[in-house]
Structure 1
Amino acid sequence: MAAQMSTSAAQSEPRRDNYSSGSDAGSDSSSSGDEDEWQDQEEEQEEAPAIISLLDDHVFPDVVSMLNYCKDKGLDFLAIRDRLNLDFYGLIKLINFIRSKVHEGAAIPTEITAADLEDDKYLKPVLDDDALIFCLDDLPESSGAGAEASTADAEKGAGAPVDELIQKNAELQARLEQLSKQFSNYRLAVQQTLDQRWQADDDDKDAASKGKATAAAAAATTGMPSAPAPEGPAAKDGASDYYFESYAHNDIHETMLKDTVRTEAYRDFIYQNKDLFAGKVVLDIGCGTGILSMFCAKAGAKQVIAVDRSEIIDKARENIYANGLSDVIVTLKGRIEEVILPVEKVDIIVSEWMGYCLLYEAMLNSVLWARDKYLTPQGLMVPSHGNMWIAPVSEQEYIAEYIDFWRDVYGFDMKVMQKGIYQDCRMEVRPAETVCGTPASFGLLDFHTVKVEDLTFTAKWASTFSDKAESHDGFLAWWDVFFARDRVDESIKIDTKAQEWVAETKGKCGDRDARVAFTTGPFGEPTHWRQGLMLLDKNKVKVTKPAPGQKIAGEIEYITAENHERGLNLRVTWAAEGEKEQTQTWLLH
């Protein structure tokens, strides 16, 4: 009973910054032995976690006693956790929400809601090195089963053999190390998130101030009131913000994940080549839901750094934690050009950056920037190569259904709807039989060496019309990507097709040497990238019926769209054998 009373007294003792008192001040006569004894006691006290109350400065030796103390005062932390079904990060927000209210002297809401915890500012610890956050794994389970199991374990442990105790100690030590890594990753993610948030706030304020100053100057000059200056992120970079916001919703990620050609190619390469990933540091750019990062972690990566500017990063973080991989994967929110990585160099960059006609969205620019800054000289890009293709097509049925349709809509002529109908590059899944000429490769990109300036280009191509070419109605563009084990792979050439490259080793080697590549073209399984269909505007260009075996050649130009930094203009120049050269431009915005 005396021991229990002593413990109770310790629990209710308020935390003080200084422990001196009148009697302590007069203790100059203490012996050196007493000083050593006090030092030993202080060292023992430092080893024990100091759990500070959520409601005041009282200090407790463990989480349970602190939570019971708070519950007696009307704050049932565990009940809030269970009611809101909070995960690891939700609990951190709850702790910091309560501590911030206490620190501000504000009243804690009678019923804390999920809306109270939405702000990411509550990921930042109110207390430095808050021991309560370190001890989240020690919280009682939501049912009584956890307590009963703990009691049973304690009773069993009382008479357990030394070997069992040693094993139990090793398991606890491993768990502690895992939690330490998890907490380190959490702190890093919090720092990055808040740094980006505060920088954005500062930029918004600066932009607003400049805008107001400009407006004031204009008013002073003209004597007329001016329109209010734009404020916020949209004023800074509306096009890019819209791009990133489009990836914040589930629909687009569901589409990409269900694209088995895409997702399984990444999975197969990573899992079949675990020797490349084991013990390595991997950077995942545009991580989305975190699927590629989790593949890499499962393959044995030492650390995976997942970066995304979109709000989807918050869900990726939860996915990673829910799958027990937060000790390996750290998530950073922001553009790759702006975040600060926890390492100087990475061994592998994995990214699913590809867009329509390969380069639409201009995400490869950011990947190449990261490659030049972070990838080691012998590092690997995943995927490693891309090949772009073009072919003439015969599309009479498509034109009848989607172009001529407007000339007779339930008996009405809606010709005006055809205005500009030929100027867009249409993203469609087209059957192989519409291709009426040999496919021509016009660009092989090695992602280890290609430069940003190489992504706007003019390339030559040549094709031959097939025997079944009934008409020439346009061009079809698509691409293949390759996943090579080595930085240099001479088997991938400008005319290499993905399916043929994979087939060369199929059934002839083990999993590790099996090649991985895929096509988005009409001769493969459809993907969410589809193909780029460029229909000829025959009101402006003159086209005759192609003859079997007739040659056709020209150039294709990839141009960055004006006023649309992530868009493309595709300009094709061509001349069939015996005919004059013609040109048309299509927009992919």
Structure 2
Amino acid sequence: MSNRILQGATSGDSKAAFNARRQSTISQAYTQSEYSESEFGEQDNGWDDWEDEEGMAAADPKCLFCAEIFPSAKEVFDHCTAAHGFNFLKARHDLHLDFYHSIRLINYLRQQALDIAGFEQTAQFAITGKEDFLKDDKYLRPVLEDDSLLFCFEDLEIGDGEENGFVDPTLIAGGAAGLDMPKPLAREEIATTTELEAKLLKQLRQAEERLFAVEVQLHNTEAQFEEYRARVKESFFDTLVDDGAKSVVSEAEPSTVVVPQDENNYYFNSYAHSDIHQQMLNDRVRTEGYRDYIYENKDIFKGKVVLDVGCGTGILSMFAAKAGAARVLSVDNSDIIEKARQNIKENGFEDVITLHRGKIEEIKLPCKVDIIISEWMGYFLLYEAMLDSVLVARDRFLVPGGILAPSQTRILFTTTSDESFLDDSIHYWNDVYGFKMSTMKENVLREAVVDFVSPETIVTNTVTIKDLPHQTITVAGLDFVSDFTLEMSRDDHVSAFVGYFDTWFTRDGKDVPLDVGISKEELKANQLNGFTTGPVYTRSEETHWKQTMFVLEKALELKKGDQICGTFYCNKNHMNPRALDLRIVYEVKRKEAKEGDEELKADLMFYLR
């Protein structure tokens, strides 16, 4: 995840646009602005990322042993031979490994590279053809999401029955995928009169035969790979059912909600490494917030079936198991789930917790669940769009009256007078080792910052621009428009708008009233658990989400009682639904307007990528 967020800013002078906005009457320090949810259009009817051949073709092949990437499969296999002492193509030929044996071999080596420290240092590797993994169907499942070696290794080896570069198409399996076989060569009889003509004609015929052989080989590879994809999909994505399930099997069909996609599965791959999980686990506010809710409400979890969406290392699943859950179903689509499996076994919870790899929108689970737990929140709450998946899980698997944890979140909005963000991103280019680099500001002006804001720099009230009751909100409702009014609490300047979110856990899933805040006293008085990601006074209260700053190019000089009135727009980016397009339209209303005062208003576009 990036800590640098893209922003753009444009000015707008249309009074009609301002007059068309709803007028806000908010003056409390912690109240909700009026907003309207966007419910545009029907969701597209699902998709199948096994059909994304273009995406797979775009990925450069990676070495089977180390992290090196090469432009072609041939160069990968040449590297494996030279650096790691393993000639894949020769081993495949000498041991008569068929298509599926070869697939298993590639995925086995990929898994070894992930699991065994120092595997990349392998200098000599050999197989006999009798290894168990060559028959183990679990190695038919791709270890790398976009492994181009799985569908191009056949192109590098001519099949049995070759003679002078020509492959007899009758010796090659064809039509397995319903593809049209290449048509045999139609040769025109050409008479030659000289030895040179005869030699050139022979070379032409050989070239035609080699081309036809390649076409047949390609057809064969396509057919086999289509069969392989169908087989893997059927084995590992459509039949993920726990045979030992004692609960009633869910009849829920896969969701038709459009799954937020990212090119080359960057989103899931970004959560495959330990460092990002360590960062989140080190966030004590976050992790202890979940732990305290679960442990302080063990009566809710005792004997229940719990679903952990995006389980990561398995920490929330183990909290639930330790609290007395009868069964925990843990789902993740990242490679981290393999480490979670080991964590759960190491702590003795394998009889309670079962892990399922896949996307919650597509996966089948053995039963309905009583509670859904998930740590899905991103920067500015909605960045990365994981809440969409949690809501799909709610609609597919949660029993009537079931609980989501957390059960409610709110996006809050305020301002800061801290100009350090402006200095760091804009003014920096005025003097770089004695040189001016003004042209560099063009893109920097479009950047916002995810960082910590000191509470002492907050100069207006704080308002809620979006309240999200998880039990009832829809995916379409995550796009929203909200009016806001921010009032200056002292004479000062405004250098940036600030966004963050608060999180609540309830025992019954009921909505938290808008007049209930997030302080420890309010949480205790209302028998709630929760935490804030807003500006705080002590390091121990900070979270890894920090706050999101929407920096102004020029600070606003204002007096106590002046108001910033505007509208906030939030929509998923149409090219990447995990990103957000944000817009802030505002104007300043002075408490004591004077003739000659500068009219302050703007129409700003921001982008979270």
Q: TM-score by structure 1 length?
A: 0.58
2:276 to 234, 245, 252: 252
User: CA offset at residue 494 of structure 1?
Assistant: 3.2
User: CA offset at residue 425 of structure 1?
Assistant: 3.0
User: CA offset at residue 456 of structure 1?
Assistant: 0.7
Aligned ranges 1:375-386 → 2 under 5 Å: 375-386=398-409
2:568 to 547, 552, 556: 556
The residue that corresponds to 1:118 in the other structure is 112
Q: Deviations over 1:42-74 (max 9, x none)?
A: xxxxxxxxxxxxxxxxxxxxxxxxxxxxxxxxx
The residue that corresponds to 1:584 in the other structure is 604
Does the alignment pair 1:570 with 2:582? yes
User: CA offset at residue 406 of structure 1?
Assistant: 1.4
Change over 3 Å in CA distance of 1:417–1:197 after alignment to 2: closer
The residue that corresponds to 1:535 in the other structure is 551
| SS state at 1:473 partner | strand
2:455 to 432, 453, 462: 432
The residue that corresponds to 1:423 in the other structure is 446
Change over 3 Å in CA distance of 1:581–1:398 after alignment to 2: closer
The residue that corresponds to 1:488 in the other structure is 510
Does the alignment pair 1:286 with 2:280? no
User: CA offset at residue 515 of structure 1?
Assistant: 2.6
| SS state at 1:419 partner | helix
User: Are the aligned partners of 2:572 and 2:581 in contact in 1 as well (CA < 8 Å)?
Assistant: yes
User: CA offset at residue 573 of structure 1?
Assistant: 1.0
Structure 1: distance between partners of 2:516 and 2:581: 26
User: CA offset at residue 389 of structure 1?
Assistant: 0.6
Aligned ranges 1:96-115 → 2 under 5 Å: none
User: Are the aligned partners of 1:286 and 1:309 in contact in 2 as well (CA < 8 Å)?
Assistant: yes
Does the alignment pair 1:387 with 2:410? yes
Q: Deviations over 1:512-556 (max 9, x none)?
A: x85311010113621100111001134xxxx64111111122111
User: Are the aligned partners of 2:449 and 2:550 in contact in 1 as well (CA < 8 Å)?
Assistant: yes
Does the alignment pair 1:460 with 2:483? yes
Q: Deviations over 1:486-505 (max 9, x none)?
A: 1214xx23354312xx3135
User: CA offset at residue 437 of structure 1?
Assistant: 0.8
The residue that corresponds to 1:503 in the other structure is 521
Structure 2: distance between partners of 1:355 and 1:200: 25
Structure 2: distance between partners of 1:537 and 1:503: 39
Q: Higher relative contact order by CA 8 Å / sep ≥ 6: 1 or 2?
A: 2
Q: Deviations over 1:310-347 (max 9, x none)?
A: 0000000000000000000000111111221121x100
The residue that corresponds to 1:90 in the other structure is none
Structure 1: distance between partners of 2:556 and 2:310: 46
Q: Deviations over 1:83-110 (max 9, x none)?
A: xxxxxxxxxxxxxxxxxx9x99xxxxxx
Does the alignment pair 1:517 with 2:530? yes
Q: CA RMSD in A?
A: 3.8
Change over 3 Å in CA distance of 1:257–1:116 after alignment to 2: closer
Structure 2: distance between partners of 1:535 and 1:504: 32
User: Are the aligned partners of 2:261 and 2:578 in contact in 1 as well (CA < 8 Å)?
Assistant: no
The residue that corresponds to 2:249 in the other structure is none
Change over 3 Å in CA distance of 1:544–1:247 after alignment to 2: closer
Structure 2: distance between partners of 1:369 and 1:196: 25
The residue that corresponds to 2:326 in the other structure is 302
More helix by share: 1
Aligned ranges 1:301-320 → 2 under 5 Å: 301-320=325-344
User: Are the aligned partners of 2:262 and 2:578 in contact in 1 as well (CA < 8 Å)?
Assistant: no
Structure 2: distance between partners of 1:410 and 1:443: 44
Structure 2: distance between partners of 1:400 and 1:390: 22
Change over 3 Å in CA distance of 1:407–1:580 after alignment to 2: closer
The residue that corresponds to 2:286 in the other structure is 262
Structure 1: distance between partners of 2:280 and 2:442: 33
Structure 1: distance between partners of 2:137 and 2:482: 45
Task: State the structure with more CA Rg.
Answer: 1
User: Are the aligned partners of 1:192 and 1:339 in contact in 2 as well (CA < 8 Å)?
Assistant: no
User: Are the aligned partners of 1:193 and 1:333 in contact in 2 as well (CA < 8 Å)?
Assistant: no
1:352 to 372, 375, 378: 375
Q: Deviations over 1:452-477 (max 9, x none)?
A: 000011111111012142x2222000
Q: Deviations over 1:100-159 (max 9, x none)?
A: x9x99xxxxxxxxx9697399xxxxxxxxxxxxxxxxxxxxxxxxxxxxxxxxxxxxxxx
Does the alignment pair 1:403 with 2:426? yes
Change over 3 Å in CA distance of 1:433–1:535 after alignment to 2: same
Structure 2: distance between partners of 1:117 and 1:562: 35
Aligned ranges 1:34-45 → 2 under 5 Å: none
User: CA offset at residue 239 of structure 1?
Assistant: 2.6
Aligned residues: 377
Q: Please list every run of 5 or more consecutive structure 1 residues that lacks an aligned counterpart in the other structure.
A: 1-100, 105-113, 121-189, 217-227
Structure 2: distance between partners of 1:397 and 1:434: 11
The residue that corresponds to 2:397 in the other structure is 374
User: Are the aligned partners of 1:192 and 1:340 in contact in 2 as well (CA < 8 Å)?
Assistant: no
| SS state at 2:344 partner | helix
| SS state at 1:521 partner | coil
User: Are the aligned partners of 1:249 and 1:312 in contact in 2 as well (CA < 8 Å)?
Assistant: yes
Structure 1: distance between partners of 2:601 and 2:262: 39
User: Are the aligned partners of 1:567 and 1:588 in contact in 2 as well (CA < 8 Å)?
Assistant: yes
User: CA offset at residue 450 of structure 1?
Assistant: 0.3
User: CA offset at residue 193 of structure 1?
Assistant: 9.5
The residue that corresponds to 2:103 in the other structure is none
Q: Deviations over 1:224-278 (max 9, x none)?
A: xxxx9x9999xx9653610000000011000000000000000000000000000
The residue that corresponds to 2:197 in the other structure is none
| SS state at 2:584 partner | strand
Aligned ranges 1:68-217 → 2 under 5 Å: 118=112
Structure 2: distance between partners of 1:381 and 1:240: 31
User: CA offset at residue 396 of structure 1?
Assistant: 2.4
| SS state at 1:562 partner | coil
Change over 3 Å in CA distance of 1:307–1:191 after alignment to 2: farther
The residue that corresponds to 1:92 in the other structure is none
Query: Aligned letter for 1:498?
Result: I
User: CA offset at residue 567 of structure 1?
Assistant: 0.4
Does the alignment pair 1:362 with 2:380? no
| SS state at 2:279 partner | helix
1:479 to 480, 501, 504: 501
Q: Please list every run of 5 or more consecutive structure 2 residues that lacks an aligned counterpart in the other structure.
A: 1-94, 99-107, 115-135, 156-174, 183-217, 230-259, 591-598
User: CA offset at residue 395 of structure 1?
Assistant: 2.5
User: CA offset at residue 410 of structure 1?
Assistant: 1.7
Structure 2: distance between partners of 1:117 and 1:412: 51
Change over 3 Å in CA distance of 1:253–1:191 after alignment to 2: farther
The residue that corresponds to 1:46 in the other structure is none
User: Are the aligned partners of 1:387 and 1:494 in contact in 2 as well (CA < 8 Å)?
Assistant: no
| SS state at 1:504 partner | helix
Q: TM-score by structure 2 length?
A: 0.57
